[in-house]
Amino acid sequence: MGRRRARTLDTGVVSYIDATLLPDEHVVYRTALHWIIFARAVLVLIVGVAVLIAFPQVPLAGAAVLLLGALMLIPPFIDYQTTELGVTNKRMILKVGFIRRRTIELLLRQVEALSVDQTLGGRMLGYGSITLTGTGGVREIFHRVRDPLELRRRIQGQAA
């Protein structure tokens, strides 16, 4: 049987998860960071627009706040675009970053504990943190994950 083609992202770049699949391994679930990572920057942009409207005689102040908001959008945008989170039938895989890449690959059979932490806002908007504890005390926390309860369900379903 030939090697299957790796899935490409919208940019035409091969997905890290697909590129690192082991023999007889397949992806069962993919998720991403939640849009909440943009909230602070968007709030600053809204304040900038409000300053422009409320104080038209001082347009430089509003423009400065808008510029700050735009600059604040850059790091979460990069994180959002370069983060991959997936569950295969054998591993939990996380890849963050492009220039400076951080990867975490945890074999599902080594997962000892799994917990989800959600604030009230997180429950209402569908995001939270998930903590995986593996054998040997390895502990990995994934913050601001979209639908963490579904991620937990998929990990538990594969680990069982």
Q: Is residue 6 part of a domain?
A: no
108 lies in which domain range? 16-33+85-159
Q: Is residue 1 part of a domain?
A: no
Question: How far is it, in rounded angstroms, from Cα 134 to Cα 44?
Answer: 39
Q: Is residue 113 part of a domain?
A: yes
Question: How far is it, in rounded angstroms, from Cα 103 to Cα 15?
Answer: 13
pLDDT digits (tens, 9 = 90+) for 89-133: 999 999 998 888 999 898 998 888 899 999 999 999 999 999 988
Residue 72 exposed, middle or buried by CB count within 10 Å (0-12, 13-18, 19+)? middle
Q: CA nearest 51: which of 38, 33, 70, 64?
A: 64
* 31-37 mean pLDDT: 96
Cβ-based neighbour number of residue 86 at 10 Å: 22
| Residue reference for tokens 């983060």 | 83
Question: How far is it, in rounded angstroms, from Cα 118 to Cα 151?
Answer: 13
pLDDT digits (tens, 9 = 90+) for 12-33: 567 999 999 999 999 999 999 9
For residues 144 and 136, is the Cβ–Cβ distance under 8 A? no
Q: CA nearest 125: which of 33, 46, 45, 41?
A: 33
Q: Examine the domain organization and report whether 148 and 106 are in the same domain.
A: yes
Global pTM value: 0.81
Q: Is residue 4 part of a domain?
A: no
Q: Examine the domain organization and report whether 101 and 41 are in the same domain.
A: no
Q: Examine the domain organization and report whether 109 and 91 are in the same domain.
A: yes
Q: Examine the domain organization and report whether 146 and 67 are in the same domain.
A: no
Question: How far is it, in rounded angstroms, from Cα 140 to Cα 130?
Answer: 8
